[in-house]
Amino acid sequence: MMDIYIKSFNRAYLLHRTIASIYHYLNGFDGRIVVLDDGTPQKYLDKISELFPDVQIVKSPYYEQKSKGISLNIVPKKVIPAVFWRDEVLKGSEYFILLEDDMWFTQSINYKDLTKDVYDLKMDMIKFLWLKNTKLISDNIIQKTAFFNIVQPKVLTKNPFLFNAIFRTNKFKLGSLVIKLSNHKLELLKYYHLYMVAGGVFSKRYYQNTWKNTKNKVDELANVSDVLKTINKYKLGNTQKEFLKTTIKSTASDIQKEKYGIALDVFKFNSILNEDWYNNKSNESINFTDDVSSEWIKNCCNNSDINFEVWQNWYTNVKKNYELMGCNLD
C-alpha cells in the first residue's frame, strides 16, 4: 500500500480536483488519502469531507492562527509547516505519494501494479511531474519498468561540501569559477534529477534524510545537500510519461509579490475562488483535461474587488519565468 498525502493551504477549489483525480485515475486504489492542511477555513474543509468522506484531514500546529486570519482578511504570519509535513508522512506507509493541492492526475494508472513495482525495486524517489522540461529528468537510464525509468543522475559533483561551495556559499570562489567555465544554471537544474519537493513517490528514508534539518522553511539547496550525503543509498527515477499536471494560475502565498512587483492580493483572490466553488457555481474542479479557465477567474474577479488585469499581469510574469527555465505549461 502507498498512502497519498496532499499539502493544502486555502485553495479548496483546487484540492477538490486533486482528490477527485486520484479516485478517477488510480485504478484499484485502496490506500489512505491524507490532507495536510495549514489554514484552509473550516467550512471549505467541511465541504471536502462531505464530497470525500474517506479522506482524512490533519491540521498543522499553525492551522487555527492561519485560518482565523484568512477568515478575517488578515494576511497570516508566514510559517512553512515543513516539520509537520515530515512528521506526518513518516507515520504512514513505507512508500508514499506526496502531492500539493495544485497538482492533479491526468493518466490512468494501475495503482496496485505501480505499488508492487515500487516495493519490489525499493524505489526512494520517482518523479511524476517535470512540466515537459527534460532538463529536470535524467537521461542516464539504467533500468525500465512498465511505469518508470530507474536512473543514475549525472551531476557536477556528488560531494555535499563542493555542492555547497559552488551553489550555495561560493566558498573559495568555486561558484564564480563554475559560472565562468560552464552553464551554472543548467548544472544546478541537474540536481533536480535527484530531488523534488512533491509530485511523486518517496520512501520514508529518503524523505526523512532530506528534511531532517528543516526548521519550518523550504531551503531546496540545503535539502539537495542533505540528499548528497547519502546519495549512493538511493534508487531514483521518473515515470515513463508525466502522470500529473499542475497549475500556476494561483499561488497559496504572496511569496511571488516581491519577485514580480505586482500587488495581487493572493489571499483575497483565493477566497473569491473558494467561495465560487463552495457555492457550486462552477465545474472547474472536475475538469482533469484542462487547467482552471481564465474565463472562470475573470468572472470571479468581475464579481469582486480584484482587478482581473492585475491577475493577468501577475500570471503572465509567473508563466514567463517558468518558460525561461524550459517548462511548458500548455
| Averaged pLDDT, 300-309 | 91
Q: Is 17 exposed, middle or buried (0-12, 13-18, 19+ CB in 10 A)?
A: buried
Kindly report the CA angle at 244 between 243 and 248, in degrees rounded to 5?
160
Task: Supply the pLDDT for residue 214.
Answer: 86
Mean pLDDT for the stretch of residues 213-237: 93
Q: What percent of the chain has pLDDT over 90?
A: 80
Using 50, 70 and 90 to split pLDDT, how confident is the model at 330?
A: confident
Cell of 233: 543509498
Confidence of residue 182 (pLDDT cuts 50, 70, 90): confident
What is the mean pLDDT of the segment spanning 8-24? Answer: 97
Q: What is the mean pLDDT of residues 91-101?
A: 98
Question: In the structure, what pLDDT confidence band is assigned to residue 1 with cuts at 50, 70 and 90?
Answer: very high
Give how far the C-alpha of residue 114 lies from the chain's centroid of Cα atoms, to the nearest Å: 20
Mean pLDDT of 89-96: 97
DSSP state of 286: G
Checking if the pLDDT of 45 tops 90, the result is yes
Q: What radius of gyration do the chain's Cα atoms show?
A: 20
Q: What is the pLDDT of residue 254?
A: 67
Quick one: pLDDT band at residue 54, thresholds 50, 70, 90? very high
Residue 202 φ/ψ, nearest 5 degrees: -130, 150
DSSP state of 76: P
pLDDT at 177 over 80: no
Judging by DSSP bridges, how do beta strands 26-27 and 109-110 pair with one another?
parallel
Paired strand residues for 105: 244
∠ CA(154), CA(209), CA(162), 5° rounding?
45
Mean pLDDT of the residues in the chain: 92
Q: Which pLDDT score is estimated for 261?
A: 56
Separation of alpha carbons 238 and 143, rounded Å: 11
Among 81, 91, 92, 32, smallest CA distance to 59 is for: 81
Q: Which residues pair with 127 in a beta bridge?
A: 200, 238
Query: What distance in Å separates the CA atoms of residue 34 and residue 97, rounded to the nearest whole number?
Result: 10
Does the pLDDT of residue 66 top 60, yes or no? Answer: yes
Q: How far apart are CA 292 and CA 194, in angstroms?
A: 30
Instruction: Report the predicted TM-score, pTM, of the whole model to 2 decimal places.
Output: 0.95
What is the pLDDT confidence band of residue 125, given thresholds at 50, 70 and 90? very high
pLDDT of residue 322: 92
DSSP, collapsed to helix, strand or coil, labels residue 330 as coil
Q: Is the dihedral of CA 41, 43, 44, 46 positive or negative?
A: positive
Task: Please write the tens of the pLDDT for every residue from 280-304.
Answer: 877 777 889 999 999 999 999 998 8
Mean per-residue pLDDT for 161-189? Answer: 82
Q: What is the pLDDT of residue 260?
A: 54
**Mean local confidence (pLDDT), 220-224:** 95
Alpha helices in 122-173 (DSSP H): 160-164
Q: What is the dihedral of CA 191, 194, 200, 203, to 10 degrees?
A: -150
Say if residue 95 is exposed, middle or buried (CB neighbours under 10 Å; 0-12, 13-18, 19+): buried
pLDDT value at 255 more than 70? no
